[in-house]
Structure formats: structure tokens, C-alpha cells
Amino acid sequence: MAAREAKRAGSAPWSGQVGRGQSGVSVTEVLIALVIFSSAILGIVGTAARVGDIMNSSHVRLGASSVAGQRVETLLSAPYDSLVNGSAAAGGVAMKWTVAESSSAKQILLVYRYDLPHGAREDTLSAASLKP
């Protein structure tokens, strides 16, 4: 019995000896955990960068639609007979409008183009000016 006790005491986990069938963390497991953790961190960083791009694009789009809306308001405040096709650029926004006349109104179609970080975008606004 004493030999058994001595053997058990010599193979305790804190003794620095690890035998077969005992559990522990290997270098391979630590490396796999580091790879998984690093992948997760890179995914979070990539997502944060994409969210930043989306927010910047939204800001640019809002500014461009504001400039185009102001142009439509200017066209609508002009005298009815002076509404004609035209183009203009302001605030980094290129605008082109066409005016089509019907029996009761002039229809204004304004196409505006602006640059985003990943390419240009084109949007449209329309309005009508009723015949006096």
C-alpha cells in the first residue's frame, strides 16, 4: 500500500510530470485557439470598416439629394414660361433637367449625379409646375 501511495504522490499534476491519459493543453490546441480568435477579431475590424463606409456614403447621398432638392425648388419658383431644359453643377453634384409641357402643367425631371467612395451614383427627382 505504501508503494501505491508513493507512486500516486509522484504523479500529481503539480509535480511537473504528465503521463499518458492525463489531460492538459497542448501547443497545437493553443495555436488553433489563437487562429480562431484572430479570425474573429479580423471579422469585427472588417465589419467596422464597412459600417464606416456605409455611413460616409449615406452622408454624401444626403448632401447630394439636398442640393438637387434645392435646384428643384429654384426651378419651381421661377416664372412658368421661363421653365426650360438645362443643367448645372453645385456642391459636387452634376444636374440635368428636362421640362415637358402638358395641357395643365410643366413636368420637371431632374437627374443628378454624384461621386461615392466606390463609384458614381445617379438619382432622379421629379416635380410639376401647374399652369397659371
Task: Tell me the pLDDT tens digit for each residue of 85-125.
Answer: 999 999 999 999 999 999 999 999 999 999 988 899 999 99
The pairing of strands 93-101 and 119-130 is unpaired
Please give the Cα distance from 110 to 117 (Å, whole number): 23
Would you state the cell numbers that stand for residue 57, as one nine-digit string? 456614403
| pLDDT the model gives residue 17 | 58
| pLDDT the model gives residue 21 | 62
pTM exceeds 0.95 for this model: no
**How many residues belong to the chain?**
132
Strand (E) or helix (H) holding 2: helix 2-10
**Residue-wise pLDDT tens digits, 20-74:** 666 777 889 999 999 999 999 999 998 988 888 888 888 899 999 999 999 999 9
